[in-house]
C-alpha cells in the first residue's frame, strides 16, 4: 500500500507538466477543510437506543447530536523553474462530537439525562512540492507532501443526571487518553482558478500513509462515590500505521 501511494504521488507530479512558470517566487494563502488525521482512540458518541438504565427504562425521549470538525491552515509557497513549487502548510485541527439525550418511561416521563463530549485537537506541519499545468485561467496541481501531526491528549467528558430526584447529584467523569506524534507521506492534488494574476481560489484533495506513536498515561476523574477521584493507568506506548481520511480543502492564495 505504501509503495502504491508513493508511486501515485510521483506519477501525479510528473503528469502535472508545467506550461507556464509563476512570475514571482513567493506566494501565501489560507486553507480551510475537514481534518484528516484522527486520534487513534477516538470513539465519538453516537445516537443509540440503549440507556444502560435498569428498571425497564431505555426509551429516548429527546436527543441532540452535534459535531464540529475543521482544519485551518496557512500555506507558504516558493516557485522554482519549470513550474515546480516548494511549499509548506501548517495549522490547527479540531474534531469534536457532542451527544446529549433524555431517557424515560414508555409513558413519556423523563428519567435520566446524559451528555458526552469528546474533543481531539492537533497541530500540524506539511512540507512538500507540487507541479502545475495551466489551462487559461485554470491550473491543475499535483505533488507530494510529508505531513507531521502533533496530537494533543484526547478528552472525553460525560455526565448523568437523575431527573426523577432533583436533589440528587450530577455524576460526572472525564477521561483523558495519551497524545503523541503522527507522520507520513502522501499525494496532494487540486484545481485553482486565477481571476487575476495575483490571486487564485481552488480546492485540494489530500491523503497520506501515516505512522502514529502515542505515549503516556490514561487518566479518569469521576465523582461516582461522592468526592472526585482520579485514577491514572500505567504509562504505555501505542503505535499504529494506516491511511488517513481524505481531506477536501478550500485554498485561497495570493502572489507576492
**Residue recorded with cell 485561467:** 137
**pLDDT of 57 higher than 70:** no
The more confidently predicted of residues 103 and 127 is: 127
> Would you state the pLDDT for residue 117?
93
Burial grade of 213 (CB within 10 A; 0-12, 13-18, 19 or more): middle
Q: How confident is the model at residue 185 (pLDDT cuts 50, 70, 90)?
A: very high
CA torsion 73-78-79-81 (nearest 10°) is -140
What structural domains does the chain harbor?
Answer: 2-255 (2.40.160)
| Separation between Cα atoms, residue 229 and residue 225, nearest integer Å | 8
> Would you state the pLDDT for residue 142?
97
Closest CA to 161 of 93, 115, 211: 115
Q: Which helix (H) or strand (E) holds 61?
A: strand 59-79
As a whole number, mean pLDDT of residues 15-19 equals 36
As a whole number, mean pLDDT of residues 112-141 equals 94
**pLDDT of 12 higher than 90:** no
pTM: 0.81
What percentage of the chain carries pLDDT values higher than 70? 85
The more confidently predicted of residues 11 and 172 is: 172
> Would you state the pLDDT for residue 6?
42
> Would you state the pLDDT for residue 25?
85
Write out pLDDT tens, residues 151-169: 999 999 999 999 988 788 8
Measured CA to CA in angstroms, residue 202 lies from 86, 167, 205 at distances of 18, 56, 11
As a whole number, mean pLDDT of residues 25-38 equals 94
Grid coordinates of 92: 490547527
Q: Is the CB of residue 139 less than 8 Å from the CB of residue 191?
A: yes
> Would you state the pLDDT for residue 24?
57
Least confident range from 10-14, 50-54, 55-59, 79-83: namely 10-14
Q: How confident is the model at residue 103 (pLDDT cuts 50, 70, 90)?
A: confident
Write out pLDDT tens, residues 206-232: 999 999 999 999 999 998 777 888 988
Q: How confident is the model at residue 16 (pLDDT cuts 50, 70, 90)?
A: very low
Q: What letter does residue 82 receive in the DSSP assignment?
A: G
| Separation between Cα atoms, residue 50 and residue 55, nearest integer Å | 13
Helices (H) and strands (E) in the chain, counts: 1, 15
Q: Is the CB of residue 34 less than 8 Å from the CB of residue 71?
A: yes
| Separation between Cα atoms, residue 248 and residue 205, nearest integer Å | 5
Amino acid at each position: 500500500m505504501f509503495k502504491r501511494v508513493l508511486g501515485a504521488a510521483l506519477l501525479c507530479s510528473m503528469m502535472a507538466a508545467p506550461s507556464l512558470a509563476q512570475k514571482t517566487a513567493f506566494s501565501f494563502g489560507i486553507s480551510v477543510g475537514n481534518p484528516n488525521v484522527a486520534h487513534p482512540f477516538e470513539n465519538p458518541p453516537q445516537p443509540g437506543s440503549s440507556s444502560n438504565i435498569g428498571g425497564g427504562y431505555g426509551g429516548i425521549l429527546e436527543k441532540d447530536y452535534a459535531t464540529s470538525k475543521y482544519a485551518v491552515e496557512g500555506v507558504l509557497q516558493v516557485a522554482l523553474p519549470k513550474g515546480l513549487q516548494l511549499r509548506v502548510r501548517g495549522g490547527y485541527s479540531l474534531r469534536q462530537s457532542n451527544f446529549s439525550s433524555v431517557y424515560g418511561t414508555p409513558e413519556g416521563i423523563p428519567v435520566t439525562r446524559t451528555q458526552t463530549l469528546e474533543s481531539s485537537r492537533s497541530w500540524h506541519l506539511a512540507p512538500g512540492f507540487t507541479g502545475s499545468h495551466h489551462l487559461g485561467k485554470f491550473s491543475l496541481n499535483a505533488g507530494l507532501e510529508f505531513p507531521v501531526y502533533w496530537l494533543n491528549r484526547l478528552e472525553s467528558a460525560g455526565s448523568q443526571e437523575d431527573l426523577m430526584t432533583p436533589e440528587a447529584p450530577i455524576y460526572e467523569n472525564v477521561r483523558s487518553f495519551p497524545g503523541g506524534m503522527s507522520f507520513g507521506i502522501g499525494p496532494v492534488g487540486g484545481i485553482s482558478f486565477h481571476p487575476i494574476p495575483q490571486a487564485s481560489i481552488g480546492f485540494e484533495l489530500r491523503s497520506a500513509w501515516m505512522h502514529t506513536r502515542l505515549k503516556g498515561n490514561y487518566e479518569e476523574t469521576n465523582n461516582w462515590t461522592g468526592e472526585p477521584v482520579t485514577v491514572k493507568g500505567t504509562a504505555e506506548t501505542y503505535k499504529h500505521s494506516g491511511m488517513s481520511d481524505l481531506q477536501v480543502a478550500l485554498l485561497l492564495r495570493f502572489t507576492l
